[in-house]
Structure 1
Amino acid sequence: MEPLAERLRPRTLDEVLGQPHLTGERGLLRRMLEAKRLASMVLFGPPGTGKTTLAHLLAEGAGKPFLRLSAVEAGLKEVRQAVERARQEGGLVLFLDEIHRFNKAQQDALLPHLESGLLTLIGATAENPAFLLTPALRSRLRLFPLRPLSQEDLLALLRRALEDPRGLPGVAYEEEALRLLAQAAEGDARFALNTLELAAAFGKVDLKSVREALGAERLGMDREGDRFYDLVSALHKSLRGSHVDAALYYLARLLEGGADPRYLARRLIRVALEDVGLADPLALRLSVAAKEAYEALGSPEGELALVEAAVYLALAPKSNSLYQAWKRAEEAAKAHPEAPVPLNLRNAPTALARALGHGEGYAYYHEDKEGSFAQRYLPEGLEGLTLYEATGEGFEERVRERLKALRGQFQSARPPKGG
């Protein structure tokens, strides 16, 4: 029998989970299918996010023959055979898995056939195509990023698997066990489904069977049996608390235990945004650079980039002022969703809009600084709204002084009468 992940492969774009930016109502892939104009592309993202599934659906929707090759095994001979078949059948969708493994000569062999339209190439890779594909090939391809599935997406998928006749209908399960599996799968739908199938072999999908199916590498990370997310939490809190040695210890535990370095890189970026913020604006740049460096080098060399980012984040001054300001901004937007934009700030693209006073009295900062400070920015009734407060940590000390001066200018300027 085929593995569960294969049996449950989506049959339509509507069944694809986790990629609404591509498959949703305004998603580019959906619009391609509706127009029946399939372009050559690369689908790139973590394992188990639907790259192969989307390639099948796109070829089927375009009504073209489909050929799947793996760049791990295929070479120039297989490319020539694909071209010959495309000539015989009047075109072909070539799905090339692990496309980043093709060398320059192999990539160049595809170019004339993409240019002529004989081949429509759909490449798939878990790596960053910007680093691993030649500029000539990249210029002929659309690049579509796929995202890891959220825990809610994975939960929906697991429930579908236990209800769909193609899956495991009738198997008893515990909701808590599904949540544990969705968490441990880390966005990988294939892993989640195949682990679910293994857990179901124990007779019931409960916490015990899921833990046994997952194995130590996903749950324990080491012989002590500590949970993966306990270690991630400890890493994050050690970075937030500026304990560099603890942060390095938990990072090492995670990497040694088999955690996905890309996931850890994303966590470091989150720390830079949520806990360092404007106290050290370079923290975000360094964290993003560490992720890109890992993607370029891979393991183990690229892991040192994560180490550098972790040490920097632990030692950096801390501020959650951006995080708190955004929470307050969201609350204000929910509390006042219809507050009218002041007339002077409104767009005025038409004569009618201008006749209604849109844009009237707007003071352009670069030409009229005093007038700019005097005009209204917030809707009526929200003039005193204060969302962002800078701390005295690191660079935010300078931000605080600048903020104090700006708010002083707004308060001392006389607001204009009317709009």
Structure 2
Amino acid sequence: MTEFYDALETRDPAAREAALMAALPAQIERAQATPALGEILRGVDARAVTSRAALAALPVTRKSELLARQKAAREAGGDPFGGFSAIGWTALGHARTARRVFQSPGPIYEPEGDARDYWRFGRALFAAGLRAGDLVHNSFSYHLTPAGSMMETGAHAIGCTVFAGGVGNTELQLQAMAELKPQAYAGTPSFLRIALEKADELGIRLPSLTKASVGGEAFPPALRDALRARGIEAYQSYGTADVGLIAYETAAREGLVLDEGVIVEIVRPGTGEPVPDGEVGEVVVTVLNPDYPLVRFGTGDLSAILPGTCPTGRTNRRIRGWMGRADQTAKVRGMFVHPSQVAEIVRRHPEIGRARLVIEGEMANDRMTLQAEVAAAAEGLAQAVAATIRDVTKLRGEVALVAPGTLPNDGKVIEDARKYD
């Protein structure tokens, strides 16, 4: 599949970066016009935010903060979006109307605007081989969460017809697949596997189904290969209910290419500090969406930037895909220890490169050791770092100074290695 969704995918990387940075000031201004982000970004000169360095100086808003603000606003009888949305409905005082509202676990409420392909999933579906005129069996949920709408609006943007399968009712969905003969599937990879196994059990053949765009959970290579053996080529997409599409898989099968409508940073967990390309960190997204103008939104997911560009000819940057969660908070002797505290310890000792706090032992008899990469340790550094650990966490911890490159590149800053059995 060497076709492209649009000309944006093959832009000169420098031209793309210039366009994204040129769009930042207006997006910062839109964000500042909302109550929540206006408070978070108070004092920021939007016109000066024209580079990644300037963007990196802004605070990260994490999902936990979004949830907390929404809950507080709802309890006060106010805006259920917590002041983050630029659209809503008249009773909330919004001049612009949302087309739909969704609820994700938390609960967190997300608005959907009326822009064509609002969640921008058309690009991912196209890369998965879907084309105008295809019938797509969409088994993502159509109630509460936005996943069903994400895929449906993306499929419509391509020119596909959609069967709204939703979740569950496997035998009814198989009946629809057998009778309607869709060319493509959209949904979780696990439900596709379950449906195909049930089809085998019932003696139902589905020869028309040759394409799939899957997401919402891990997609292991073994399942990808099993689907291919059945004649189905399936490709991953990665997005969230807050920011829409973030990245998508291509025929190259080499990481996920970033969407054209987002600015993605990889930051050290617990901080807003970007890490070097290749290092694992938290995915932070600024989405160029005037309706829901999230700036430096911390997804809580771990990933890393891959070197080079996609062999398919798409020139945007790539990430390795989902690599776990960035929130590694642990409870030690009745006290919570957060990644941000590890970051503060490192900040106070510039000699330290990467660091990992390892918690070992058994519950109620646990111990902490900060493994810190140091090129050249001055005398007394370990003792000074141990004192900082106590000052920041209010807990005692040992210090192990190790050579640069010793710690795994997996994004972990807190490793809970205790035995719970």
Fold-level similarity (TM above 0.5): no
Q: TM-score, normalised by structure 2?
A: 0.32
Bigger Rg over Cα: 1
Greater share of residues in strand: 2
Normalised TM-score (structure 1): 0.32
Task: Give 1 or 2: higher helix fraction.
Answer: 1
Greater RCO, CA 8 A, separation 6+: 2
